[in-house]
Chains A and B, each alone.
Chain A
Amino acid sequence: MPYAPEHDEVPNPLRPGLRGDSAPEPCAVVIFGASGDLAHRKLVPALYNLAIGAHLPAAFGIVGVSKTPYTHEEFAGEMREAVGRFSRTKPVDPEIWQDFGAGMRYVPGSFDDPDTFARLRTQLEELDRVRSTRGNRLYYFATPPSAFPTLLKQLKAAGLISGPFDTRFTRVVIEKPFGRDLPSARALNRLVLETCDERQVFRIDHYLGKETVQNLLVFRFANAIFEPVWNRRYVDHVQITAGEDLGIEGRGRYYEEAGILRDMIQNHVLQLVCLSAIEPPVAFDADAVRDEKIKVLRAVELFDSPEQVTRNVVLGQYAPGSVAGADVPGYQQEKDVASGSRTPTFVALRLNVRSWRWDGVPFYVRSGKRMPKRATEIAVHFRPVPHPLFGEGATQPNVLIIRVQPEEGIALRFSAKVPGERFRPRTVSMDFRYGTTFGAASPEAYERLLLDAMRGDQTLFTRRDEVEAAWKIVGNILKVTESAEFPPPHPYPAGTWGPDAAEELLVQDRRAWRRL
Chain B
Amino acid sequence: MNDKISYHPPAPWVRPLRDMPIRQKLMLIAMGTTALALLLAGIGIVSADLVLFRSNLQNELSALARITADDTTAALAFDDPAAAAETLGALRARSHLVIACEFNGEKQFARYARNGATMSCPLPEAREASRFDRHYLTVWEPILLQGRRLGTLVLVYDLGAVYERVKLYGILVVGVFLLSTLIAFLLSARLRSLVTTPVTELARVSAVVSKTRDYGVRAQKISGDELGLLVDAFNEMLSVIQLRDSELRLALLAREVALEDAQRARNSLEGTLARVAGLNDELQATNKSLARSNEDLERFAFIASHDLQEPLRMITVYSQLLVKRFSNAANAQVSDYIEIIESGTKRMRDLLADLLAYAEIGAKVDEPAQDIDLAVIVRNACEQMAMAISESGAVITVAQLPVIRGFGNHFTSLFQNLIGNAVKYRGDRPVEIDIVATRADNQIRICVSDNGIGIAPEYHTKIFAAFKRLHGKSIPGTGIGLAICQRVVERYGGRIWVESESGHGSNFIFTLPDSLLAPGSFRAGN
Are the chains A and B members of one assembly? no
